[in-house]
DNA sequence: TGATGAAAAATTGTATACGATCTAATTTGC
DNA sequence: GCAAATTAGATCGTATACAATTTTTCATCA
């Protein structure tokens, strides 16, 4: 069965062909599809992505699948181990810290630029994103809601019209999705929406400084929603327990 | 003739296996080699990188070469056009602007972090980098001098010990090399050294604020050394000339 | 002479085959 | 019964073959 690829829907699809610097084609299709699946948490960190299996699913040969997996590896969503294959990445605690620190550096700047470049049509688009996110949350699809929340941040970067920074943000947000899958501790995802609402207000007033400030706190807040304490692995903790017993 | 690959020398080699998120192997070897060649301006922007030709040079099959070219495409040094092949990228004026704006945002922060993390051994390493750069410049190898100048910036990022930001800087500096090949206008490359000296002083005094400030001016200065005025392309200028004649 | 079009050559896109390496299951020895 | 070694299976790394596409060449005609 060839061509059973889900068409990327207008909203969830945060990645374009520029994300992977690949020409259009089947390799790119598979990239985008896997990318979405990972962002929506349908593929969990650590999961094996066998070349044969993926090829079977998409009706493509290993040649094409390999290229797709290597592209995803370069964007950090997939980790390839020689002679062992490809796995959905498991960002370390260290990497999680750094990703959110990088976001706290870059995204506020982008928010400021976006506020200055903001047009009426852009505001409408952002509003639609928010509505879609609410709808997904209401229907109970947390994975999709998270992906849409990321898409909101990417939409801002696109409005700022800075392609280089925008690519960086895309990569950081993709990795954030994995990080959240691994380390998120809060039950409420709703706090997000408040920040997004506040951003929208700043944008509508073309208040760059406010947008920058709000975005910065928003990201710091997201960061603080993670549980990034080192957990000693079971083996050593067992040894400790027995030693002191 | 297999295995005629130049061993990446300790200094010029700014890229590691993490730059491409590839496991060690021949694909990575070819990546690093092409990467260095581009950074040292031995391969000019726009040059065709035929799969057969590259494969012949490195004694590898097209399978391996293709993977290497796609990895380089993802890092922005190579542009792939479907059914037409791979070319050394020609960054647009727009992209040039954005790359240096991004550097001006990220690198000063890294310089500050590096200043705080700086150890005596790190200072020595940086000094060695500068000496190597001077040596290359003295011997007239401008390409190598430029690559080493980039390596200096990357070394700072490594000292700051921020892998995520470090990867971004690597990518930006690689692209800067192409940008300089296309748009550099100054004859003197020596101005660089002064900034690097000043940075070294700030580092030795562990003065983070000074390092941040110096790095920012340094990058703005580099940016101002480019000629980024739009040149109307020959075709349209010809049309204009005839229309008004 | 210059433009047009068709045929030939070169180059990339993809599938498949085979060897190398890793994983696991089974056997063997203690 | 348990650990180590061996073997069978699965998976990846690479080369090569063929199809699809582009580029070049060259003959033809206005």
Torsion angle in degrees (nearest 10) through CA of A166, A223, A40, B169: 30
Q: Which residue of A has its CA nearest to B89?
A: A21
pLDDT > 70: what percent of chain B? Answer: 87
| Chain A 21-50 contacts with nucleic strand D (CB below 7 A) | 50
Residue A59, Ramachandran bin (φ over 0: left; ψ between -120 and 50: alpha; else beta):
left
So what's the pLDDT on residue B236?
Answer: 53
Chain B residues closer than 8 Å to A71 by CB: 70, 74
pLDDT at A231: 77
Residue A190 predicted with pLDDT over 90: no
Q: Which of A169, A167, A181 is nearest to A219 (CA)?
A: A169
CA to C1' distance (Å), from B27 to C9: 29
CB–CB contact A70 B75 (8 Å): no
**The pLDDT of residue B18:** 85
H or E stretch covering B185: none
> What's the pLDDT tens digit per position in A95-104?
999 999 999 9
Other Cβ atoms less than 10 A from the Cβ of B146: the count is 23
Query: How confident is the model over A93-127, as pLDDT tens digits?
Result: 999 999 999 999 999 999 999 999 999 999 999 99
Whether A46 contacts chain B with CB within 8 A: no
Q: Which residue has the higher pLDDT, B46 or A3?
A: B46
Which of B48, B51, B52, B55 is CA-nearest to residue B26? B55
- For residue range B99-129, what is the model confidence (pLDDT) as tens digits? 999 999 999 999 999 999 999 999 999 999 9
Distance from residue A83 (CA) to nucleotide C28 (C1'), in Å?
29
Q: Are B177 and B147 in contact (CB under 8 A)?
A: yes
Separation between Cα atoms, residue B15 and residue B26, nearest integer Å:
15
A147 within 8 A of A13, measured Cβ to Cβ: no
User: Taking 60 as the threshold, does the pLDDT of residue B239 lie above it?
Assistant: no
The band of B3, judged by pLDDT with boundaries at 50, 70 and 90, is very low
């Amino acid at each position: 069965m060839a061509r059973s690829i889900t068409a990327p829907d207008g909203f969830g699809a945060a990645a374009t062909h520029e994300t992977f610097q690949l020409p259009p084609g089947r390799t790119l299709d598979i990239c985008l599809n896997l990318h979405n699946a990972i962002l929506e948490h349908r593929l969990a960190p650590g999961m094996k992505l066998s070349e044969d299996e993926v090829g079977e699913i998409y009706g493509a040969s290993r040649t094409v699948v390999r290229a797709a997996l290597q592209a995803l590896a370069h964007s950090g969503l997939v980790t390839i181990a020689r002679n062992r294959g490809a796995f959905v990445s498991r960002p370390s605690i260290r990497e999680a810290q750094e990703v959110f620190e990088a976001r706290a550096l870059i995204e506020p700047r982008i928010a400021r630029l976006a506020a200055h470049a903001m047009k009426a049509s852009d505001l409408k688009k952002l509003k639609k994103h928010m509505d879609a996110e609410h709808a997904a949350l209401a229907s109970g699809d947390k994975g999709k809601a998270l992906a849409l929340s990321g898409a909101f941040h990417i939409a801002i970067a696109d409005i700022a019209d800075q392609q280089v920074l925008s690519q960086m943000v895309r990569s950081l947000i993709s990795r954030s999705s994995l990080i959240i899958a691994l380390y998120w501790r809060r039950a409420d995802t709703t706090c997000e929406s408040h920040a997004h609402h506040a951003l929208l207000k700043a944008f509508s007033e073309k208040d760059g400084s406010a947008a920058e400030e709000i975005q910065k706190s928003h990201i710091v807040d997201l960061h603080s929603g993670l549980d990034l304490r080192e957990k000693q692995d079971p083996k050593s903790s067992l040894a400790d327990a027995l030693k002191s017993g």
